[in-house]
Structure 1
């Protein structure tokens, strides 16, 4: 998946406006009427993962617009601490409330050989910001006891690359979480693919794939 995403990010021609609209229209046939649940009684705008509902997307987030939605699918993990590889299911939510940031949440569950869920795995929550020069800031808190700041830029209109700038780990957090790099991108089938690479133990600069997944839009 890493090779496929890198190739598309580097070599794909920009989508024409008509093609982009056509792809979005086809995808939205089953997702346009859905949104994330809300309580409905906040005195300010609530989060929405559907651009057709709720507040208007802030003009400063247009370069991140394709990410907004709820995505679900399956992936593969190869922990750098030497523990066994495993398959997982995942849900990612990119939402907004009209302000100049996206909220982000990810939850992962482990899968057995038949694709059945066997239990919870790691979770992340955070925020994505982008400035007028297309510099991205991605702040995430990990359920296993780490907080990470990543910086990056769009690689194309449909792909975004981020690199670790700062990682803090709690006393009970992961001892092997080294600096990393992430690539998010819309694939030719319009699914969201992502890859997280981490520093290989015992090396100074060798990044190896740690987690990757391909997710289908289910809301938005």
Structure 2
């Protein structure tokens, strides 16, 4: 048992804190980039490096890489669409699936420009005040996160499992439309009690002029399937 620090009684909160500080002496200055290398084959997002892509994943080969760019977010409660930045990493470790991770941030919203020469009708003012609009912002804001797995099957179907940071898990089934495009529809949606009431979704991915493009439609308890997000991302790795 670790001896308590001078002046601290055994079993006291001070002793526990002091013991924790001593234990963390070798790790307190380290972070994720300092994690030691795993004893197994690591993920790669570059087909020229690391493990060889599993033959089962050849149907998804063009997707492997790290992609970054901008998109547009729509939601029934938004008066105007919101622009966002996003990075999607699609990697593999040589097995029969791809790993998916998306990190999203909301882009700054410019402050509205007042026009003193125009008069707005009272009804228009009331409608504008009641609509939900993004507040002006001068820096990016962290937004949605998602992780998941692309799982090609022997019969040609592709399972796509996506878990969202907002508490939603979606199971999609899809197929390749062409060598560079893939379409998916949700088969099941699981939500936590605090998650948005998502009831279904569809996704379309494609490689367009070397860029990753996608469109997502989403349905909720109150709204039928409708456009939700779309983006065009540049390849930055792979």
**TM-score (ref. length: structure 1):** 0.76
User: Cα gap change, 1:125/1:83 in structure 2, threshold over 3 Å: closer, same or farther?
Assistant: farther
Name structure 1 gaps, 5 residues minimum: 1-36
Tell me, yes or no, if the aligned pair for 1:81 and 1:201 is still in contact at 8 Å: no
Q: CA deviation at 1:84?
A: 5.1
Matches within 5 A, 1:179-218: 179-187=200-208, 189-199=209-219, 202=222, 206-218=224-236
Tell me, yes or no, if the aligned pair for 2:200 and 2:220 is still in contact at 8 Å: no
Matches within 5 A, 1:156-195: 156-175=178-197, 177-187=198-208, 189-195=209-215
User: Cα gap change, 1:173/1:102 in structure 2, threshold over 3 Å: closer, same or farther?
Assistant: same
Higher relative contact order (CA 8 A, sep 6+): 1
User: Cα gap change, 1:83/1:56 in structure 2, threshold over 3 Å: closer, same or farther?
Assistant: same
Tell me, yes or no, if the aligned pair for 1:38 and 1:46 is still in contact at 8 Å: no
Instruction: Determine the structure 1 residue equivalent to 2:23.
Output: none
Tell me, yes or no, if the aligned pair for 2:47 and 2:64 is still in contact at 8 Å: yes
Instruction: Determine the structure 1 residue equivalent to 2:56.
Output: 60
Tell me, yes or no, if the aligned pair for 1:192 and 1:217 is still in contact at 8 Å: yes
Instruction: Determine the structure 2 residue equivalent to 1:20.
Output: none
Q: CA deviation at 1:82?
A: 4.5
User: Cα gap change, 1:145/1:127 in structure 2, threshold over 3 Å: closer, same or farther?
Assistant: same
Name structure 2 gaps, 5 residues minimum: 1-32, 111-136
**TM-score (ref. length: structure 2):** 0.71
Instruction: Determine the structure 2 residue equivalent to 1:152.
Output: 174
Aligned pair 1:141/2:163, yes or no? yes
- Structure (1 or 2) with the larger CA radius of gyration: 2
Per-residue CA deviations over 1:80-106 (Å, capped at 9, x if unaligned) read 345653100000000000110000000
Instruction: Determine the structure 2 residue equivalent to 1:95.
Output: 91
Q: RMSD over aligned Cα, in angstroms?
A: 2.0
Q: Which runs of 4+ in 1 moved over 6 A?
A: none
